[in-house]
Amino acid sequence: MPEITIRDALQRGLREALDNDPNVYLMGEDIGAYGGAYSVTAGFLEDYGPERVRDVPISENTFIGTALGSAVGGLRPVVEFMSISFSLLAFDQMINIGASIRYMSGGQFKVPVVIRAPTGAGIQLAATHSHMFENWLASVPGFRVVAASTPYDALGLLRSALKDDNPVIMAEHVQLYGKRGEVPDEYFTIPLGKADVKRTGEDITIVAFSHGVVIAMDAAGKLAENGVKAEVIDLRSLRPLDIETVLKSVAKTHRAALIDENWRTCGYMAEVSAQISEKGFDLLDGPVARVASEDVPAPYSRPLEQMMLPNVNRVLKAIEENYGI
């Protein structure tokens, strides 16, 4: 299979949607002439024109409201934030309208909008541009929230998101746009709400999503050098959460380590840990190990930023402390 980047995969999915459905259009900050903050929509304005590729003012609540209104009216907008940090300015429209209106209308209104948002730290964007709000958004009934770690998953999840009649948040980690991976030319989709076993093993389950999967796979490789076979679960979807795949793995390994690049306090893996304990407590040989970012605003300084974030050594240390392996 040919190798492409996550950026390429997203471009392929968006072009397919624009080519095949006249109701699909793109809107966002600097997505037109500039080509997007991370170059995902480079060349789209020239190919599809300003009616299908719309640059918007820096007024997040306004353009999210516009997208939601057009979705309820029958269009299928794909909105791009320059950063998930800026979604704070659109939470009223996103949560009070986007996530609620289908339920409040008794299913009479559909809200087929995909919101793409670069997320995460690690590239020195400092405190106000390095947030990961996936856990906040995944806590809201009505949203679908997905986070791909490979080009294959990015394309398959985007295709499914574009077909969904509910608002879908695609959290795209800023460190992953250039990551390469095999993607078949044949058409495929990945259902929302289905985790993936990225590496099989029998000694410990490592659960992660987005860029955390990169750390998990590196940690599994280090463990293998000492004869420890780790199974790596990529959640891919945060809402709905596929806890069954996680529990099936824990039933085999009897150990679990969770990686979350969000803050530790109230991070997404706190929910996963709670569900493992509630539904699979008797499966465990010890307490769930949880590795997350430190509870501090993201520093601009690269050495300080790297100290804040999870890494392979911290994962290995947590596994050794909790399970002695």
Which candidate, 76, 79, 81, places its Cα nearest to that of 20? 76
Q: What is the pLDDT of residue 274?
A: 98
Mean of per-residue pLDDT scores for the chain? 97
- Total residues found in the chain within this entry: 325
Same domain, 92 and 139: yes
Provide mean pLDDT across the span 202-225. 98
Does residue 191 sit within a domain? no
In a domain, 165, yes or no: yes
Return the CATH number at 105.
3.40.50.970
Decide: helix, strand or coil at residue 144.
strand
The answer to whether position 57 is within a domain reads yes
Q: Where residue 40 falls among pLDDT bands split at 50, 70, 90?
A: very high
Q: Which of 182, 214, 230 is the last residue of a domain?
A: 182
Asked if the structure places residue 82 within a domain, the reply is: yes
Q: Could you give the residue numbers annotated as active site?
A: 60, 129
Q: Please check the confidence at residue 317 and state whether its pLDDT lies above 90.
A: yes
Task: Provide φ and ψ at 184, rounded to 5°.
Answer: -70, 155
Count of domains for the chain: 2
pLDDT of residue 267: 96
pLDDT for residue 51: 96
Rounded Cα gap, residues 205 and 232, in angstroms: 6
pLDDT digits (tens, 9 = 90+) for 100-157: 999 999 999 999 999 999 999 999 999 999 999 999 999 999 999 999 999 999 999 9
The predicted-structure confidence for 12-24, as pLDDT tens digits, reads as follows 999 999 999 999 9
Inside any domain, residue 126 = yes
- 3-class SS of residue 122: coil
Cβ neighbours around 188 below 10 Å, total? 11
Burial of residue 268 (number of CB atoms within 10 Å: 0-12, 13-18, 19+): buried
Q: CA-to-CA distance for 78 and 112, rounded, in angstroms?
A: 9
Which domain CATH number covers 306? 3.40.50.920
Model pTM?
0.96
Q: Are residues 126 and 155 in the same domain?
A: yes
Give the whole-number percent of the chain exceeding pLDDT 90. Answer: 99
**pLDDT score at 224:** 98
Does 233 have pLDDT greater than 90?
yes
Of 93, 16, 83, nearest in space to 47 by CA: 16
Q: Are residues 141 and 279 in the same domain?
A: no
Q: How far apart are CA 268 and CA 68, in angstroms?
A: 26
In this structure, is residue 298 part of a structural domain?
yes
pLDDT of the residue at 1: 84
What pLDDT score was predicted for residue 197? 98
49: Cβ–Cβ under 8 A, 6 or more apart, which residues? Answer: none
Examine residue 171 and state whether it is found in any structural domain, yes or no: yes
Based on the domain organization, do 212 and 317 belong to the same domain? yes
The answer to whether residue 281 scores a pLDDT higher than 90 is yes
**Is the CA virtual torsion 68, 69, 71, 76 positive or negative?**
negative
pLDDT of 78 strictly over 90: yes
> Which range marks the domain in which residue 22 is found?
3-182
